[in-house]
Structure 1
Amino acid sequence: MVSKRGRLDQFIAGTLQIPKKAVRELLINNKVRVDGQFAKSLDLQIDEFTHIECNGVVLRHYQKRYYMLNKPDGVVSATIDDKHPTALGLMTGINTEMLHIAGRLDLHSTGLLLLTNDAKWSEALMAPDHKVDKKYLVTLANPLDQAYVEAFANGMYFEYENITTLPAQLMLLSSHQARVVLREGKYHQIKRMFGRFRNPVVALHRESVGDIVLDHTLLAGEFRALTKAEVDSVFQH
């Protein structure tokens, strides 16, 4: 989702279906408030969260919203899907208008899914140069050993994209389970990295993105709003 920036006069003219000359008259006569202040400039830049009033009537007022969802297996990270239940379909009891997913999970992957209507926030969170740590709990079909740790730390070359993955941290938890920390998110990256060892991933569960950790009180399919500290953490790296 892209932030919807534009000029104030274009927005008012389009919303009220009046010429820009009439918009100028509204501003001259202190009829337009932007974020509580009388607007003076026609070319004032606004976005989807700018509060705009004209003659006391609210023309635009969206609040920024941020949620975490404990995504279950079999739910697709999408707004609409013909075959599977969607993440947004689980967000019952709230207005899901404008919400989008910041960092998708595969159909059978579970765990932390972040949703917001704030494009700048999600772009900062997922931008490749931001390199936010993403932590996953992975269960494998076959036993693990130290060779996996070294291979993940060295990075792996993917011939199809002609890229080498960034060094990734792998911690062995048991014979068939490991915790993986990535700082990027290539297509099916974790499954493909374990695939080098011909070791299928049985379960993939995202535990955290940056400083935002999945709330363990949330059952699969449940969600809650992010705290201010969790929201602000995205811009502290």
Structure 2
Amino acid sequence: MRLDKYLCESTDLTRSQARSALLAGEITVNGEVIKKGTHVVRDGDVVQWDDETLAPIGLRYIMLNKPVGYECTLRNSQYPPVISLLDVDKRDRLHTVGRLDVETTGLILITDDGQWTHRIISPRHRCDKVYVATLAEPLPDNAEDLFAAGILLDGEDKPTLPAVLERVDERRARLTIQEGKYHQVRRMFASLGNHVLALHRERIGSLALDADLLAGESRYLTPIEVADLAQNGDVPV
């Protein structure tokens, strides 16, 4: 890794600030002052800034139980970003794996690993997303068949992929989809003339929301969970 990038990965320095620190002779690698940002840092090298040994932040994989009222984007909005709920260093480097709308709760994954994100959300892969929807009206008797056949959403020219609908009770249903179209779950139920009062995501691929996490709480994924999700998202369509 280039030394200037290493400094940005392991400190709060911007790229320009890292260059200034280098030119000022504040950075050493294995005890030698290095002033070039292009210097390559190798495994085992000891990088210090004013005698403080640095280490880059590794890739992070986080599960969060999203509450109502938080955005999954960083755009200017009346709602705070869901990433603001995390108490971690360099939050600005993190992104959500897909999105939940402001009113939807439940499992959201957050990471700084773009390749891992792509393997989970890419349209080329069929990764299950499981939601529980609370509905304004009871479902029609043939709802399971309609969802299994695919539903043509308003404004779309192709039906959704087949989805699995399971009735929980008269006005609650568990829905498993393998896509992530804009407001897809809400639009699918709307196509049946129904309105989603509340929506909660329980699972992505092999990973279920940790039952111990209260709304707004988070935890890091285990290495096994990270690997399992990447594998789950590696099944070509």
Q: Output the TM-score relative to the length of structure 2.
A: 0.76
Which has the higher mean CA deviation after the structures are superposed, 157-166 or 95-104? 157-166
Aligned to 2:205: 210
Q: Which amino acid aligns with 1:132?
A: C
String of CA shifts for 1:76-105, please: whole Å, max 9, x gaps: 112354411220111135541301111110
State whether structure 2 residue 155 is matched by structure 1 residue 155. no
Aligned to 2:183: 188
Q: Decide whether aligned partners of structure 1 residues 36 and 70 sit closer, same or farther in structure 2, where only a CA change above 3 A counts.
A: same
Aligned to 1:36: 44
2:128 paired residue among 126, 133, 154: 133
**How far off is 1:209 after superposition?**
0.5
**How far off is 1:115 after superposition?**
0.4
Question: How far apart in 2 are the matches of 1:94 and 1:16?
Answer: 21
2:111 paired residue among 95, 107, 116: 116
String of CA shifts for 1:174-220, please: whole Å, max 9, x gaps: 11001000011111111111111111001110001011110011111
Q: Decide whether aligned partners of structure 1 residues 61 and 207 sit closer, same or farther in structure 2, where only a CA change above 3 A counts.
A: same
Q: SS state of the match for residue 84, structure 2? A: helix
Q: Decide whether aligned partners of structure 1 residues 59 and 217 sit closer, same or farther in structure 2, where only a CA change above 3 A counts.
A: closer
State whether structure 2 residue 229 is matched by structure 1 residue 234. yes
Q: Decide whether aligned partners of structure 1 residues 60 and 145 sit closer, same or farther in structure 2, where only a CA change above 3 A counts.
A: same
Question: How far apart in 1 are the matches of 2:93 and 2:171?
Answer: 40
2:194 paired residue among 191, 196, 199: 199
Aligned to 1:44: none
| Aligned residues: CA RMSD | 2.9
Aligned to 1:223: 218
Question: How far apart in 1 are the matches of 2:70 and 2:226?
Answer: 24
Question: How far apart in 1 are the matches of 2:4 and 2:83?
Answer: 32
Aligned to 1:40: none
Q: Percent identity?
A: 38
Segments of 5+ residues of structure 1 without an aligned counterpart are 1-6, 19-25, 38-51
Q: Output the TM-score relative to the length of structure 1.
A: 0.76
